[in-house]
Amino acid sequence: MTDVENVRNSNFELLRIVSMLFIIIFHLIFRLCSIHSYEMSSSIYILIRFIIAITLVHVSSFVIVTGYFQCKKKMRLSKAISINNATWFYGVIFLLIALILTEKLNISLTYPITSLDIFKTIIPLDYGLYWYIGCYLVLYLISPILNIVINNCDKKTLKRIIITLFIIFSIIPTLTLDATVYTNEGHSIYNFILLYFIGAYLRCYPLDKSALLSRFTDKGKQLLYFVGYIFFAFLSVLFFSISRELNSSNEIVNYISNIFYWFHNSFGSPILIVQTILYFLFFSTLNIKSKIINYISSCTLGIYLIHENIYVRDNLYGFLEYFNVSSMTLKTIVLILLTAVVIFVISMLIEMLRKKLFKFIYNRKISCRFREFYRSYFKKIGLNINW
């Protein structure tokens, strides 16, 4: 058996890589769009909105993948601790760098450091600055409860649960603009639970085996999913364009306009959820095995934590001020996309160093003795702790 045959399938690892790159692109483009939208030409502004619609699947795809795999796994506390440790590590490191720059080198930062920021960073349990990490950890910790429901339901019951959650956490918040069920535009554990159930359903009852899709070849399915993914991106931009045209002094018209904008911009949008499912299904049809892809995928958490750190993010995105948005062209947009790739690569290299550092510390004798100490202690009180 060759080394390639021993490597696990990399299709969903590639999805994680693409989605993380989408996150960086989205943050750059959305920031530029929010600050300078009034200065751009209509055609460039719509193109940027299309890029946003293409990349907005990033967070939802991570959660669907989590549901797809975690529904058949046991929750490991060591994984939650590992995520927490990485989050705390980068928070402290970048806080120290920011303090050195401001206190020792007298360099002013876009994001000023407050005493509250220092307090929150030192205590490794506050995820207000990383909303995704907070929601993800809660989802992961309650996954055993969700799995009991998932693994004790038949197909029909699970489908009803998903439809109910979809109505409550996607359709109703969209039509009422979060007035009835508050989901913070999909930035909440409610949306994550819905996506988790969708991922689990796709694992337990693969759509590829349905009567309709089983007639297609893998290439045919890939084309179908990709075209559907692009179609819903266009539909999202269409809703956005309509929302701009509906702006008026009439309160009812403005309310409808906000609903159309929500369809385009919210993580809980019904359009985005369907688009993310198609995006996920496209990658599910790929047959790729690569150790390199798998390793890069393992760095995606660190890439997120680095580029979204408040002391990195606000100062990093400051370079957007140098773009002449009033005369923005396709060349400028390509330059921004290349910038996203550079940020991805640099962040990945930093994360690789952190992983090597953590592995080095983990393998030291003092670390091994400490683990043996607390494991034996918990064992005495009847708990088998393997972390």
Nearest to 66 by CA among 168, 234, 264, 203: 203
Q: pLDDT band at residue 4, thresholds of 50, 70 and 90?
A: very low
**Is 110 inside a domain boundary?**
yes
| Pair of tokens at residue 28 | 């750059």
| Torsion, CA 25, CA 28, CA 185, CA 175, rounded to 10 | -80
DSSP string, 258-303: HHHHHHHH-TT-HHHHHHHHHHHHHHHT-----HHHHHHHTTHHHH
**Is 47 inside a domain boundary?**
yes
Beta carbons within 10 angstroms of residue 105's beta carbon? 7
What is the separation of C-alpha 305 from the centre of its chain, rounded to a whole number of angstroms? 11
Q: pLDDT band at residue 310, thresholds of 50, 70 and 90?
A: confident
Task: Report the domain count for the chain.
Answer: 1
143-157, 309-323, 360-374: lowest mean pLDDT where? 309-323
- pLDDT above 70 covers a percentage of the chain that reads 88
Nearest to 98 by CA among 305, 307, 308, 312: 312
Cα separations in angstroms, 156 against 79, 159, 278: 32, 5, 21
* pLDDT value at 106 more than 80: no
Bigger pLDDT: 103 vs 382: 103
- The residue range of the domain holding 145 is 3-380
Nearest to 313 by CA among 19, 31, 8, 3: 31
* 3-class secondary-structure state, position 186: coil
Residue 125's Cβ-count burial label (10 Å; 0-12, 13-18, 19+) is: exposed
Q: What share of the chain is helix, strand, coil (3-state, %, to 5)?
A: 75, 0, 25
Residue 116's Cβ-count burial label (10 Å; 0-12, 13-18, 19+) is: exposed
The pLDDT of residue 124 is: 63
* 3-class secondary-structure state, position 184: coil
| Pair of tokens at residue 230 | 């692009």
* CA–CA separation, 63 and 61 (whole Å): 5
DSSP letter at 101 equals I
**Is 190 inside a domain boundary?**
yes
The pLDDT of residue 245 is: 85
146 touches 197 (CB < 8 A): yes
**Is 387 inside a domain boundary?**
no
| Per-residue pLDDT tens digits for 216-255 | 888 999 999 999 999 999 999 999 999 988 876 788 888 9
| Residue 119 identity | F
Q: pLDDT band at residue 122, thresholds of 50, 70 and 90?
A: confident
Q: pTM score, two decimals?
A: 0.91
DSSP letter at 103 equals I
The pLDDT of residue 201 is: 97
The pLDDT of residue 324 is: 58
**Is 112 inside a domain boundary?**
yes
**Is 385 inside a domain boundary?**
no
| Per-residue pLDDT tens digits for 241-300 | 999 888 767 888 889 999 999 999 899 999 999 999 999 999 999 999 999 999 999 999
Find the mean pLDDT for residues 82-104: 87
Nearest to 33 by CA among 268, 12, 41: 41
